[in-house]
Homo-oligomer: A and B are copies of this chain.
Amino acid sequence: MKQIPFIFTCLAIFIFFARPLKAQTDTRNITIGVVDSVDSKVLNEKRRILIHVPKGEGKKFPVLYVLDGDDHFEALVGMIKRLNSTDNCSEMIIVGISNANRNRSRDLTHTKADDPRFRLRNTGGGEKFMEFIEKELMPKIETSYSTAPYRIFVGHSAGGLLVMNTLLKQKQLFNAYIAIDPAMLHDNKKLLKESKKILTENTFANKFLFLAIANSMDEGMDTISVRKDESFNAMIIRPILETKDILVATQSNQLKFDYKYYAHDDHRSVAFLAEYDAIRFFFKDYKFIMKDAYLTDANAKLSVILETHYKKVSTQLGYTVLPDENLVNDAGYTALGKKQFDKAGNLFKLNVLNYPKSSNAFDSLGDFFLEIEDNANAIISFKKALEIKETPHTRKKMEKLLKK
């Protein structure tokens, strides 16, 4: 069945909004997730978590874990939905871990170094907190939802410190790390001092890091002059700039690293754009660019081009990303409309291979066989489609065929 058309080029200026609505219509409330909790034995307390799960039966989703979830959750859900709608990242499960309690500085720091200037009390519980994430939270998420083996870890400020610590010392836990203005000053820059050795002596193949640096400097300072600034305000940014220097100098460790300095954002406001830029960085090559020639040139091997693209994306991300079902389906019908039968057949066959539980993929393949007057195969395809899901329009075509 031909779906509402996927738009291949930006020329379709007026119509790309015409996709089927995903917003809820059956209820008055617009709901983006649930509040849940984990009774943690490791921490001996109940932990509040926020969870967003995209719709899509049979699909597997990467999981983004964000610290200080109460602050970041809603914005990330909206942002990633929007980025996905323009093919700039995959849909994701988003898990907000609440740190909005008296134990925040305990959870996010690995070493004991209380500092009243920063209201750091009861520090040093990071190891236990990561044990909670690894042994209790992740298993809960991965048994409850349909997850792809790709995890993103997001932290801001003290949370950014925990993200850096995890990348350096437990890199197996996540695939991609977003460290937003991390509190590298903690405990007399302890982690920063350890980082050069760790980054030099280890490899970080298939790991991504995005480091965001906010403008937390006194007026009149810049990222050069602040390095010699001994003032209180310089204490935040200097160790972050030093972290950046080390990361730039050790890039032979295969870590995929990018960073950005945000001149117009302070320590608090930097998080939003940082998260956006990080996701765009991780998913830089994700989007399939449909060139006009792929559709107009009858000899273009579009199914092969698509497979090659998504194999490359899968290798880069470290998990299998399949060609988008609607994109392939629509390209198939475009080819069929142009009587490019080889191309159309290959595309529809690609879809039933990738989406064997999709009734519509088999229905479309049936349409293809109908068009080339291969009624036997059309019947096989429609039969398969109906086995998966009884659909009136498929049934009608089937009955018409059987009457012949």
Closest to A269 in B: B86
Instruction: Give the one of A13, A16, A88, A99 with max B CB within 10 A.
Output: A13
Asked if B85 and A71 sit within 8 Å, CB to CB, the answer is: yes
- Contact partners of A307 in chain B: CB under 8 A: none
From residue 5 to 56 of chain A, which have CB atoms closer than 8 A to chain B? 7, 9-19, 21-25, 27-36, 48, 50, 52
Chain B min CB distance to A282 (Å) = 15
Closest to A74 in B: B78
CA of A232 to CA of B11, assembled, Å? 8
Asked if A158 and B10 sit within 8 Å, CB to CB, the answer is: no
Chain B min CB distance to A121 (Å) = 10
Q: Is A145 among interface residues, defined by CB-CB distance under 8 A?
A: no
Asked if A35 and B27 sit within 8 Å, CB to CB, the answer is: yes
Task: Select one of B32, B68, B78, B236 contacting A17, CB under 8 A.
Answer: B68
Q: Is A112 among interface residues, defined by CB-CB distance under 8 A?
A: no
Given known A13-B118, A75-B79, A78-B76, contact A21–B100 (CB-CB < 8 A): yes
Chain B min CB distance to A186 (Å) = 9
Given known A17-B99, A104-B14, A104-B17, contact A70–B183 (CB-CB < 8 A): no
CA of A184 to CA of B272, assembled, Å? 31
Chain B min CB distance to A216 (Å) = 5
Q: Is A338 among interface residues, defined by CB-CB distance under 8 A?
A: no
Given known A30-B50, A276-B272, contact A13–B158 (CB-CB < 8 A): yes
Q: Is A83 among interface residues, defined by CB-CB distance under 8 A?
A: yes
- Contact partners of A21 in chain B: CB under 8 A: 70, 98, 100
Closest to A30 in B: B33
Interface class of chain A by DSSP: mixed
Chain B min CB distance to A276 (Å) = 7
Q: Is A349 among interface residues, defined by CB-CB distance under 8 A?
A: no
Q: Is A266 among interface residues, defined by CB-CB distance under 8 A?
A: yes
Asked if B10 and A236 sit within 8 Å, CB to CB, the answer is: yes
Interface magnitude class on chain A: 35 or more
Q: Is A233 among interface residues, defined by CB-CB distance under 8 A?
A: yes
Closest to A181 in B: B13
Q: Is A273 among interface residues, defined by CB-CB distance under 8 A?
A: yes
Q: Is A394 among interface residues, defined by CB-CB distance under 8 A?
A: no
From residue 192 to 237 of chain A, which have CB atoms closer than 8 A to chain B? 214, 216, 232-233, 236
Chain B min CB distance to A62 (Å) = 19
CA of A35 to CA of B14, assembled, Å? 24
Asked if B71 and A75 sit within 8 Å, CB to CB, the answer is: no
CA of A271 to CA of B276, assembled, Å? 13
9 A-B pairs with C-beta separation under 8 A: A7-B268, A10-B233, A10-B236, A10-B268, A11-B216, A23-B70, A72-B82, A78-B78, A85-B268
Q: Is A243 among interface residues, defined by CB-CB distance under 8 A?
A: no
Asked if A32 and B71 sit within 8 Å, CB to CB, the answer is: no
> Besides A29-B29, A82-B271, 16 other CB < 8 A contacts?
A9-B233, A10-B214, A10-B216, A10-B266, A13-B118, A14-B105, A14-B120, A15-B119, A16-B268, A24-B35, A29-B31, A29-B35, A30-B33, A30-B34, A86-B269, A272-B276
Closest to A115 in B: B14
Given known A29-B29, A82-B272, A83-B272, contact A12–B68 (CB-CB < 8 A): no
CA of A35 to CA of B27, assembled, Å? 7
Given known A11-B232, A34-B28, A272-B83, contact A17–B119 (CB-CB < 8 A): no
Asked if B17 and A71 sit within 8 Å, CB to CB, the answer is: yes
Asked if A32 and B32 sit within 8 Å, CB to CB, the answer is: yes
CA of A104 to CA of B21, assembled, Å? 14
Q: Is A81 among interface residues, defined by CB-CB distance under 8 A?
A: yes
